Amino acid sequence: MTDTPTQLFIGGAWLDAADGATMPVDDPATGEILCQITGAGPSSEVDVSTMNRLG
């Protein structure tokens, strides 16, 4: 799964969480952790400066 995006897709760009949080994604059949993805917080996490940077 090396080509799997692990960031948040916001305003047409892939971004990390503002606080750097991540969370595991596991295979429900085996319990194996497949990858770590960016943890999403409240919508207020997407601040005005981020949206301005994205246009």
> Is residue 49 in a domain?
yes
Residue 19 inside a domain? The answer is yes
Flag whether 46 is in a domain.
Answer: yes
Domain that holds residue 19: 8-54
Q: What is the pLDDT of residue 15?
A: 83
pLDDT of 45 reads 54
- Total structural domains within the chain: 1
Residue 2 inside a domain? The answer is: no
Q: Is residue 1 part of a domain?
A: no
CB neighbourhood size of 33 (10 A): 10
Tell whether 45 is covered by a domain. yes
Give 2-50 pLDDT, tens digit per residue. Answer: 677 788 887 778 888 878 888 999 999 999 999 888 887 765 456 656 6
Spatial contact of 41 and 50, defined as CB atoms under 8 Å apart: no
Find, among 33, 3, 6, the residue nearest to 17 by Cα: 6
User: Which two three-digit tokens encode residue 25?
Assistant: 């994604």
Neighbouring residues of 27: CB distance < 8 A, sequence distance ≥ 6: 34
- Judge whether 32 lies within some domain: yes
Output the pTM of the full model. 0.58
Q: Is residue 3 part of a domain?
A: no
pLDDT number for residue 38: 87
